Amino acid sequence: MPEPVDAVEMQAALLRLRRASGLPVAFGGLLSDARHARIAELNGAQTTALRGLVITAGSGLGGKSIALSRPCAVTDYPSSRHISHEYDTAVAAEGLRSVVAVPVVVRRKVRGVLYGALREPLALGDRTFDAAVAAARDVEQALAVRDEVQQLMTVTRDQVTDPRAAPGAWEDVREAHRELRALVPKVADPALREELLSVCGLLASASGTSVPGARGVQLAPREIDVLACVAAGATNAVAADRLGLRPETVKGYLRAAMRKLGAHTRLEAVVAARRAGLLP
């Protein structure tokens, strides 16, 4: 699976950090193991001196933030006595002075680090810290979604391809299908979204309940999302909460799906969607 957070969510978070804080430079990267992060994304940098820099836990400002699992800042990086200075050459090449570093923490585990910086030795205020923490949380949420996607796809692929799977396992597959579809709108990376939808299609067709003559039905993605929730027994209100929609919007999608499927009840719509290979 690709690593979309590096290129997509990280860049988006860095841009939001700069806009919210007014800082001219932002950069960051994810950990490759428990102790090392690689600076992969730059926003506002004038050189490439920071790109590819490997930050070790405990070293420099970012390494201190990783080790302590909390935001850290210095007013004048080159002269600060509160950090070690392994990265002074790269920092000086970019002309950075005042810097804040914030760890990206997912389920109490540090997964990356974001920086914001000025080219002047000025104290950073609460607005800057709040913006940096908010940007880190954006990346945290993206990583948490990706983790959930990976776990669900691994489990569902095993279930679908295991010929010994018990009949009751299909209820787990259907639940995984619903959860995966609910995650799709939260994923920013197009390649990962396509992979998710591909797995959803695999799950929908793997149960063997589809009928060849019924496969011409086309539903909008959100109509399938709503039907997947309905198939799991969710009310319109529960489906709305799971999908981040208004109950009235859910009703509209459900009515449209029922019309396309020629169904008169919610149950008939679910059965027809399974026959069309749209739901597992």
Which positions ≥6 away from 210 have C-beta within 8 Å? 204, 274, 275, 276, 277
| 0.75 surpassed by pTM | no
**CA nearest to 171, candidates 242, 228, 98, 248:** 228
User: How many Å from the N-terminal Cα to the C-terminal Cα in the chain?
Assistant: 23
Please write down the HEC assignment for all residues of 260-271.
HHCCCCHHHHHH
SS3 116: strand
Which positions ≥6 away from 38 have C-beta within 8 Å? 29, 30, 32, 52, 53, 54, 55
Query: Can you give the pLDDT at residue 101?
Result: 97
pLDDT digits (tens, 9 = 90+) for 44-97: 999 999 999 999 999 999 999 999 999 999 999 999 999 999 999 999 999 999
Please give the backbone phi and psi of residue 111, each rounded to the nearest 5 degrees, phi first: -115, -10
Query: Can you give the pLDDT at residue 2?
Result: 39
**The two three-digit tokens of residue 98, written as one number:** 């005042």
Q: Tell me how far apart the alpha carbons of residues 188 and 235 are, in angstroms, rounded to a whole number.
A: 28
Query: Can you give the pLDDT at residue 163?
Result: 45
CA angle 26, 29, 31 (to 5 degrees): 150
Query: Can you give the pLDDT at residue 6?
Result: 57
Which segments of the chain have a pLDDT < 50?
1-4, 163, 211
